[in-house]
Amino acid sequence: MAPGKDETEDAVAVNTPEEWADDKDEWDEKVEEAYEAAVISHSKGTLTMKTINDREYYYLQWRDGGRVTSQYVAPVSP
């Protein structure tokens, strides 16, 4: 199993990062919004971090056929 994930009955849940520990509900909402925007099931997607203009962001990343696709989740620091 990939880091940052917990298996549940029907899906894979993304763990709350340490930086978001005080805002767990908001984190869960952002992850849910990312899955809805990506139109993928919760069993797909790995949480990754990207650095853009010296700032870090969380993204969901998954394979769609032969290509890797990403969906923005939230900044690393809320």
Task: State residue 11's pLDDT score.
Answer: 55
C-alpha–C-alpha distance, residues 21 and 78, integer Å: 10
Going through 3-66 in order, the beta strands assigned E by DSSP cover 5-7, 12-14, 46-52, 55-64
Whole-number average pLDDT of the chain: 86
Interval 44-72 mean pLDDT: 95
For residue 65, which phi and psi values (nearest 5 degrees)?
70, -125
pLDDT band at 9 (very low <50, low <70, confident <90, very high): very low
Name the residue among 28, 33, 30 with its Cα closest to residue 15: 28
Q: What is the pLDDT of residue 32?
A: 95
In one-letter notation, the amino acid at residue 64 is: D
3-state secondary structure of 41: coil
Q: What is the pLDDT of residue 14?
A: 83
